Amino acid sequence: MIAEERKLHFSYEESEKLTDIERTADANLTKLRKQLATPLYNVVLQNFYKVKPIIEAHKLYQVLDSMPKGALHHIHTTASPHVEEYIKLTYDPVVAYNEREGLFKVLLGKEQLDGYIRCVEVRNFWKDAHLYDDHLRKQILLTEMETEKLESHDVWTKFQPKFARVGDLCKYVKFFKQLLKSTLLACA
């Protein structure tokens, strides 16, 4: 099972291409990170607002913050693609969706999982394929109405399930490359 998962994950087919200087930098950053995340205490698992001053005072934050892009900038491969890119993926026969769990999965070959039905098959039961696409859009997108009157930190509780919903699709090499490409092209 683990071997099969590794075949699907994009990073497993990549080999290390770091220079000696990059390896040294990585080792130094890893050493600093381990100061913030020990087996006994991990700042990442704590309340953000309580540990924010600790993080900002730490050498790791100072190093990352001094870099051209800073430590606060990042991209989520699951959240950055346009919803239409995900809808396109659901036309690939390997994509299945579980209405009960609200999750997409990549099912290769004749693989089946309880509760998951391939999206291309489900479309056959809808009066119009576009109506099913609209249904999936509503499952993927976080609407303004869902976040209305919420504090910014509370929005995450609504966003996280949407984030997780498409997570498995992003682990599949073919889809990861498509999603990353579409995201980068949208930035151009």
Average pLDDT across each block of 10 residues of the chain; the chain has 188 residues. List them in order: 57 64 85 86 74 89 74 68 95 97 94 95 96 95 81 78 90 91 81
CA distances from 23 to 15, 19, 28 (A): 14, 6, 9
Q: Which of 155, 185, 184 is nearest to 75 (CA)?
A: 184
Task: Return the number of other C-beta atoms located less than 10 Å from residue 1's C-beta.
Answer: 5
pTM tops 0.75: no
Q: What is the pLDDT of residue 11?
A: 55
- 67 neighbors 76 (Cβ within 8 angstroms): no
Q: Is residue 87 part of a domain?
A: yes
Q: Which of 55, 74, 75, 52 is nearest to 63 (CA)?
A: 55
Question: Are 45 and 95 part of one and the same domain?
Answer: no
Which domain, by its residues, includes 18?
2-66
Question: Are 31 and 102 part of one and the same domain?
Answer: no
Q: What is the pLDDT of residue 9?
A: 58
Question: Are 60 and 110 part of one and the same domain?
Answer: no
| Alpha carbons 122 and 90: distance in angstroms, whole number | 10
The C-alpha R_g of the chain, in whole angstroms, comes to: 20
Which strand ranges, in their side-by-side order, compose the sheet holding 95-98?
A: 103-106, 95-98, 117-118
SS3 152: helix
Question: Are 55 and 122 part of one and the same domain?
Answer: no
